[in-house]
Amino acid sequence: MGKVALVERLTDGTACQGDDCAVIDGTGNRLTLINTQTLVEGVNFDMTYTPLKHLGYKAVAVAISNIAAMNGTPHQVLVSVAVSNRYSVEALDELYAGIRLCCERYHADLVGGETGTSRAGMVLTVTAVGDVERDCVAYRHGASHNDLICCTGDLGSAYAGLLVLEREKVTYQANPDFQPDLDGYDYVLERFLKPEPRLDIVKKLATAAVVPTSMIDVSRGLADALLHLCRASHCGCEVYEEHLPIDYQTSRVCSEMSKNMLPVSCALNGGEDYELLFTVNQKDYDKIKDMEGVHIIGYATEEHMPTVMVTPQNTTITLRAQAFQGLEE
């Protein structure tokens, strides 16, 4: 059935709207934002190459990223963890050192949670609570015909980092005396192991008085995010391959892995970048065209139009969700 169809089935008839966060009426002119993320060992992370401090940091960052994707600000974090007896107290100290570091960096208070027992491995659940001004909240719906489509940072680099780690893991399993060769891959490894939520872009948009007409975080690849945004907004889109931001290290990893692996495929279908994809009205073009960290990659088209990418050769490719989303595939 797939994750999206399952969630729609389970939440049918409820108040769930399928956005990045639950949105609850707050006090005054502010709305409360709540998001929960669960990371499962062997599904979302592999302890063969995941430092516990990085895992704690990432778990909080992933939840906070969804607050950012509503154009909001995080304030509190709750963490629940279930672990098997193979994890020592010192190991959990490392995990929580990463949790606290991310909370401190993004000014969110660690206010509670729960601990429990797992028969095998670790299950880590993080709930982030934040808020946003009522007039500034950005939902997935809201994009209109001719709105500019923008994304932050670069795409596909987290998946490139995962590819490097999985390659070294296979070699290690064949020869336990093998020492991983990770020199020169610092950027893509950090992008996968320690992503950063783009609250910096939320602040820049606020400073420029730009309110996105729609927004989503890119956690399962650009194609998946575009399809979610267009479906919610009842529109199509055209994005341009030559405008997709791809780091040179991502391109390098793709060429090393296979001559048939294209960097654009990592950008479209690789998961866990945690960048922001958003739309803005064309009247805001001058405010964002030179904004550091923001790239204009296309525009929204009319309702019932397809979701497509245009290649440098002017070929149109219909986008489909083929997201890898880390280890889940």
Q: For 9-23, 46-60, 253-267, which range has the lowest pLDDT when averaged over its residues?
A: 9-23
Same domain, 82 and 170: no
Predicted confidence at residue 328, as pLDDT, reads 46
| Confidence band for 310, pLDDT divided at 50, 70 and 90 | very high
Same domain, 113 and 171: no
Are both 156 and 294 inside the same structural domain? Answer: yes
Cα atoms in the Cβ-side hemisphere of radius 13 Å centred on 222: 34
Residue 241 DSSP code = G
Range of the domain at 247: 148-318
Q: Based on the domain organization, do 83 and 9 belong to the same domain?
A: yes
Tens digit of pLDDT for each residue in 81-121?
Answer: 999 999 999 999 999 999 999 999 999 999 999 999 999 99
Tell me which residue has tokens 């969804």: 66
Q: Quote the pTM value.
A: 0.94
Query: Do the beta carbons of residue 215 and residue 71 sit within 8 Å?
Result: yes
Give the per-residue pLDDT at 61.
98
Sequence-distant (6+) residues with CB within 8 A of 230 are: 143, 236, 237, 300, 307
In-domain check, residue 126: yes
The residue among 104, 133, 162 that closes a domain is 133
Does residue 327 belong to any structural domain of this protein? no
Q: How confident is the model at residue 123 (pLDDT cuts 50, 70, 90)?
A: very high
Q: What is the mean pLDDT of residues 319-329?
A: 62
Do 296 and 273 share a domain, yes or no? yes
Orientation angle between helical segments 248-257 and 157-174, nearest 10 degrees: 40
pLDDT of residue 160: 97
Domain end, chosen from 76, 108, 133, is at 133
Same domain, 214 and 129: no
Q: Which of 133, 168, 187 is the last residue of a domain?
A: 133
158 and 276 belong to one structural domain: yes
Coil, strand or helix: which one is 120? coil
Q: Which pLDDT belongs to residue 145?
A: 97
Task: Give me the CATH number covering residue 44.
Answer: 3.30.1330.10
Measure the CA–CA gap between 75 and 291, rounded to whole angstroms: 26
Q: What percent of the chain has pLDDT over 70?
A: 96
The Cα 97–Cα 54 span in angstroms is: 9
Q: Would residue 141 count as lying in a domain?
A: no
Whether the per-residue pLDDT at 24 is higher than 90: the answer is yes
Confidence of residue 18 (pLDDT cuts 50, 70, 90): low
**Alpha-carbon distances, residue 198 vs 58, 215, 219, 281, 303 (angstroms):** 13, 12, 12, 20, 29
Q: Which two tokens stand for residue 255?
A: 């060429």
Q: How many domains does the chain have?
A: 2
**Closest C-alpha to 69, from 153, 144, 140, 162:** 140
179 and 114 both lie in a single domain = no
Residue 323 is assigned to a structural domain of this protein? no
Q: What is the pLDDT of residues 243-258, one digit of tens each?
A: 999 999 999 999 999 8
Can you tell me the distance from the alpha carbon of 70 to that of 278, in angstroms, rounded to the nearest whole number?
A: 10
Q: What local confidence, expressed as pLDDT, does residue 259 receive? A: 76
The reply to whether 114 falls in a domain is yes
Same domain, 105 and 246: no
Average pLDDT over residues 150-166: 97
State the chain's mean pLDDT as an integer: 94
Looking at the fold, whether 160 and 191 belong to one and the same domain comes out as: yes
Residue with tokens 């929204």: 300
* Burial of residue 94, with CB atoms counted within 10 A of its CB: 0-12 exposed, 13-18 middle, 19 or more buried: middle
**Does residue 58 sit within a domain?**
yes
Q: How much is the pLDDT for 324?
A: 54
- The answer as to whether 96 is a domain residue is yes
Give me the pLDDT at residue 268, please.
Answer: 96
